[in-house]
Chains A and B, each alone.
Chain A
Amino acid sequence: MTAIEMQPPRLSVGPFAWLRKNLFSTWYNVLLTILALALLYALLRPALQWALTEARWGVIAANLTLFMVGQYPRDQLWRVWLSIYLLSVLLGLSWGIWKHAARGFALIGLGAGFAFALIGLLLNSNVWINWLVAVALLFGFYALGRILPKRARSITSLAWLLYFPLVILLIAGARFIPFLSPVPTNLWGGLLLTLMITIIGNVLSLPLGILLALGRRSKLPVVRYFSIGYIELIRGVPLVTVLFMVSLLVPLFLPLGMPTPEAVIRAIIGFILFEAAYQAENVRGGLQAVPRGQYEAAQALGLSGPLTTALIILPQALRAVIPAIFNSFISLFKDTSLVSIVGLFEILRIGRSVLAQSEWLGTHREVFLFAFLIYWGFNMAFTYGSRRMEEAMGVGRR
């Protein structure tokens, strides 16, 4: 008996069917859809009209460098570009070597490069050349990465680890290095400041968080109570109070001779202390997930406590909570917006100072939208990239 193949009834497939099913299935859905559409139209039409005709985007164009790097000396900007180029190189190499795991971030890098180049063109700024160079580097090293042998993996990983301290060195400079004259942190501002705080804060808060998590599970009561006390104290108070407290108290706590650390350093310390408590809770979850048998097997083999923790427990614990750790990294980026409250010049504060310029009075909506888009864009980019990386690593799923 042959199988009978029939076409589904006319009204259940096709675009009309989709509309019926998803938008107009019941009477209240019809009502909701109409209301929602009306609301969207009422809000979007004036907004789009404003954005495309009345808005004075010149305020962004004229102050673009200010928004991006604050007061960073203009003749030293090559160091910022060098950091970006190095990032392109690393992204391209990683994409070529690890393919799927790094593809998310690489695509973001490409997208960002193109987008910024486009914005540069639109705003009549010469930076579009630099951005296209960055994109070209990405592609070039992607091609290189694809043909490199497996040994390159460890070298590239090492390169990533070295990248962050290197960037800090590049941006901050040091007295004893010829081309890298020190740039005091009070000149850092804008997106550069936000990113530097995020990087340094993330890099240093995770080790401290790991120590706290281990301390929280320690058999020694004194260590355990200290860790619990610290973690609960920090998690119970708002971030601004920690920043405020560190800003005010660090000068008081230092001995007479020592110079007061700059405001940016103090803010970074505040972030490190704050984030560490939250990362500690993340790591603790991972530590709890490692079965007891792992400890016992290591003990039976004669591995000492520290060796067991370093070689056996931590690799498994950290792997289990990579999504949570990345989430904390990303939320730190958002939190850096608060440094304006302790006087630092991140994007919002710069926006306020730009608005005070007589030329650009009344452009608060443009400035605000710009800051909003930067934060939102970077956030989405980081989230997308880390999600892709987690998927490729098969992490976060048992």
Chain B
Amino acid sequence: MQISAFLRNIRVLQVLAQILFVLLLALAAGFFYANVTTNLARQGLAVGYDFITNPASFDIGESYISYEPSDSYGRALLVGLVNTLVLSALGILLTTIVGIIAGIARLSSNWLISRLAAAYVGVIRNTPLIIQLMFWYFGIVLQLPSVREAMALPGSIFLTQRGVYLPKLDPTPTFDSWRIFIWIALVSIALIWFSFRLIQYRTELPVPLWAYLAYIVVPILILWVGFVIQPEAPLTENLPALTGLNFRGGLRLTPEFTALLFGLVLYTGAFIAEIVRAGIQAVSRGQVEAALSLGLTRAQALRLIIFPQALRVIIPPLTSQYLNLAKNSSLAIAIGYPDLFSIAGTVINQTGATIEVIVIMMLSYLSMSLFTSLLMNIYNSRMRLVER
């Protein structure tokens, strides 16, 4: 009698259920593990992370850190990770701008502009990203004129099928001493922010619009002062110039990078446009009317009332779009940009260390996701409207 009563206890049943679940999982895991080891042994593939230090022996099209084929596989994977991060960071910056512009355009009173923005969103959102990337790569970037007949844009920018050439600034020996001024400029921005808060706190007046210029003017002033007092200019121009068959100098963006950046920015921008539009529309009309009837100008109402409230609605889905951009960068494999995923694929092909490399790759992407989620959670909890 004791045992059956024990087995009917709710608590006991819950614990038993969990034990059963864990047992099933363990059984499945054990089964798969056994299969994996047998299969790997049969194929003569090694298990373990030893391959990481072996020389990679393959070339990588572009990289932001130094890389030679004699470097290790580990280094190769790192190159991929950096490539992904750089592309994602730049992409996030640009797509935000594009998305905000498109979102505001959607709400424009100009019928043509709002319809064009709607068309942009409707077409881009409803077609697969991979098609768009291929369009940008095969259809546009590779169709650019050859190096000899490069399309020149003002400011020494050249568009060719070998890539986009931009002017670059090179550091000179005096760059190190100028760097101090960069730090001072950054600190000055923080100081300005603090003093604004302090003034607002003390006087309870909002900061007038013209005062925000200080954020721009003061750092630039500091940088300029630092610039001119140096004996030699800290930075020199490095302009691309056609010499012989190729361009020398300047910064070169590969066709792959350009197409990928364009495609990702426009694709994610369409989603961000909708988010921005929904966010602005989510602020009820009553808020605008109340603000206007209090005597605020339209611009002030926008800045003080609508914008903060819209931001609350916009930020969470916005960060998940940023995450999508970072994840979608893995489509680089379709057009040959050496991102983390494509390099991981190459490494797997060459070493056969399938599981190990996959684990490294997944962990990298997961870290990016978790980091972004963390930032968003922090932002969310600080911005939550205090409600009853």
Do A and B have CB atoms closer than 8 angstroms in the complex?
yes
The B interface, classified by DSSP as helix, strand, loop or mixed, is helix
Shortest distance between the CB of A304 and any CB in chain B (Å): 12
A230 and B127 alpha carbons, distance in the complex (Å): 28
Taking CB atoms and an 8 Å cut-off, the chain A residues in 207-224 that contact chain B are 219-223
The answer to the question of B257 belonging to the interface, with a C-beta cut-off of 8 Å to chain A, is no
Task: Flag the segment in B148-156, B286-294, B325-333 that touches A.
Answer: B325-333
B358–A238 touching, CB < 8 Å: no
Given contacts A23-B110, A219-B14, contact A341 B22 (CB under 8 A): no
A372 and B18 alpha carbons, distance in the complex (Å): 49
Shortest distance between the CB of A150 and any CB in chain B (Å): 37
The A interface, classified by DSSP as helix, strand, loop or mixed, is helix
The interface on chain A, measured as residues whose beta carbon lies within 8 A of the other chain's beta carbons, has a size of: 51
A100 and B235 alpha carbons, distance in the complex (Å): 69
A32 and B330 alpha carbons, distance in the complex (Å): 37
The interface on chain B, measured as residues whose beta carbon lies within 8 A of the other chain's beta carbons, has a size of: 51
A337 and B334 alpha carbons, distance in the complex (Å): 11
What string of 1s and 0s marks CB contacts (under 8 Å) between A330-356 and chain B? 000011011011000000100000000
A334–B127 touching, CB < 8 Å: yes
A376–B370 touching, CB < 8 Å: no
Given contacts A368-B135, A371-B131, contact A376 B126 (CB under 8 A): yes
B333–A348 touching, CB < 8 Å: no
The answer to the question of A157 belonging to the interface, with a C-beta cut-off of 8 Å to chain B, is no
Contact of A253 among B21, B35, B138, B348 (CB under 8 A): B35
A236–B370 touching, CB < 8 Å: yes
The answer to the question of B128 belonging to the interface, with a C-beta cut-off of 8 Å to chain A, is yes
Task: Flag the segment in B36-44, B277-285, B301-309 that touches A.
Answer: B36-44
Given contacts A368-B131, A379-B126, contact A220 B110 (CB under 8 A): no
Q: Which residues of B contact A249 (CB under 8 A)?
A: 354-355, 358
B39–A251 touching, CB < 8 Å: yes
Q: Which residues of A contact B32 (CB under 8 A)?
A: 253
Contact of B330 among A25, A241, A335 (CB under 8 A): A241
Shortest distance between the CB of A35 and any CB in chain B (Å): 9
Given contacts A33-B110, A240-B331, contact A252 B128 (CB under 8 A): no
What string of 1s and 0s marks CB contacts (under 8 Å) between B321-344 and chain A? 000000111110110000001000
- Which of chain A's residues has its CB closest to B110's CB? A29
A368–B138 touching, CB < 8 Å: yes
B366–A221 touching, CB < 8 Å: no
Taking CB atoms and an 8 Å cut-off, the chain A residues in 189-238 that contact chain B are 219-223, 226, 232-233, 235-238
Q: Which residues of B contact A338 (CB under 8 A)?
A: 128, 130, 331
Q: Which residues of A contact B331 (CB under 8 A)?
A: 238, 240, 338, 341
Contact of B111 among A22, A232, A245, A253 (CB under 8 A): A22
A348–B365 touching, CB < 8 Å: no
- Which of chain A's residues has its CB closest to B34's CB? A255
The answer to the question of A364 belonging to the interface, with a C-beta cut-off of 8 Å to chain B, is yes
B369–A241 touching, CB < 8 Å: no
What string of 1s and 0s marks CB contacts (under 8 Å) between A363-398 and chain B? 011001001100110011001000000000000000
B327–A256 touching, CB < 8 Å: no
Q: Which residues of A contact B139 (CB under 8 A)?
A: 364-365, 368
The answer to the question of A244 belonging to the interface, with a C-beta cut-off of 8 Å to chain B, is yes
The answer to the question of B113 belonging to the interface, with a C-beta cut-off of 8 Å to chain A, is yes
A240–B333 touching, CB < 8 Å: yes
A254–B111 touching, CB < 8 Å: no
A371 and B365 alpha carbons, distance in the complex (Å): 30
Given contacts A335-B128, A376-B123, contact A241 B341 (CB under 8 A): yes
Q: Which residues of B contact A232 (CB under 8 A)?
A: 369-370
B123–A252 touching, CB < 8 Å: no
Shortest distance between the CB of B87 and any CB in chain A (Å): 13
The answer to the question of B90 belonging to the interface, with a C-beta cut-off of 8 Å to chain A, is no
Q: Which residues of B contact A22 (CB under 8 A)?
A: 109-112
The answer to the question of A248 belonging to the interface, with a C-beta cut-off of 8 Å to chain B, is yes
B112–A23 touching, CB < 8 Å: yes
The answer to the question of A4 belonging to the interface, with a C-beta cut-off of 8 Å to chain B, is no
- Which of chain A's residues has its CB closest to B135's CB? A368
Shortest distance between the CB of B278 and any CB in chain A (Å): 14
A252–B348 touching, CB < 8 Å: no
A220–B345 touching, CB < 8 Å: no
A238–B365 touching, CB < 8 Å: yes
The answer to the question of A13 belonging to the interface, with a C-beta cut-off of 8 Å to chain B, is no
Contact of A238 among B36, B110, B341 (CB under 8 A): B341
The answer to the question of A36 belonging to the interface, with a C-beta cut-off of 8 Å to chain B, is yes
- Which of chain A's residues has its CB closest to B332's CB? A240
- Which of chain A's residues has its CB closest to B333's CB? A341
Shortest distance between the CB of B319 and any CB in chain A (Å): 13
The answer to the question of A162 belonging to the interface, with a C-beta cut-off of 8 Å to chain B, is no
A241–B112 touching, CB < 8 Å: no
- Which of chain B's residues has its CB closest to A36's CB? B112
B18–A348 touching, CB < 8 Å: no
What string of 1s and 0s marks CB contacts (under 8 Å) between B114-130 and chain A? 00100000010011111
A244–B345 touching, CB < 8 Å: yes
- Which of chain B's residues has its CB closest to A380's CB? B126
Q: Which residues of B contact A238 (CB under 8 A)?
A: 327-331, 341, 365
A221 and B35 alpha carbons, distance in the complex (Å): 29
Q: Which residues of A contact B233 (CB under 8 A)?
A: none
The answer to the question of B17 belonging to the interface, with a C-beta cut-off of 8 Å to chain A, is yes
Contact of B134 among A223, A348, A383 (CB under 8 A): A348
Given contacts A220-B14, A248-B354, contact A241 B128 (CB under 8 A): no
A32–B110 touching, CB < 8 Å: yes
Shortest distance between the CB of B60 and any CB in chain A (Å): 19
Q: Which residues of A contact B127 (CB under 8 A)?
A: 334, 372, 375-376, 379
Q: Which residues of A contact B361 (CB under 8 A)?
A: 241
The answer to the question of B25 belonging to the interface, with a C-beta cut-off of 8 Å to chain A, is yes
A37–B35 touching, CB < 8 Å: no
Given contacts A249-B355, A337-B131, A340-B130, contact A237 B109 (CB under 8 A): no
- Which of chain B's residues has its CB closest to A25's CB? B109
Q: Which residues of B contact A341 (CB under 8 A)?
A: 130, 331, 333-334
Q: List 5 A-B contacts (CB under 8 A).
A: A32-B113, A236-B370, A238-B327, A340-B334, A376-B127
Residues of A within 8 A of B (CB): 22-23, 25, 29, 32-33, 36-37, 40, 219-223, 226, 232-233, 235-241, 244-245, 248-249, 251-256, 334-335, 337-338, 340-341, 348, 364-365, 368, 371-372, 375-376, 379-380, 383
A-B CB proximity, top 7 nearest: A236-B369, A22-B111, A337-B128, A238-B327, A238-B330, A379-B126, A222-B18
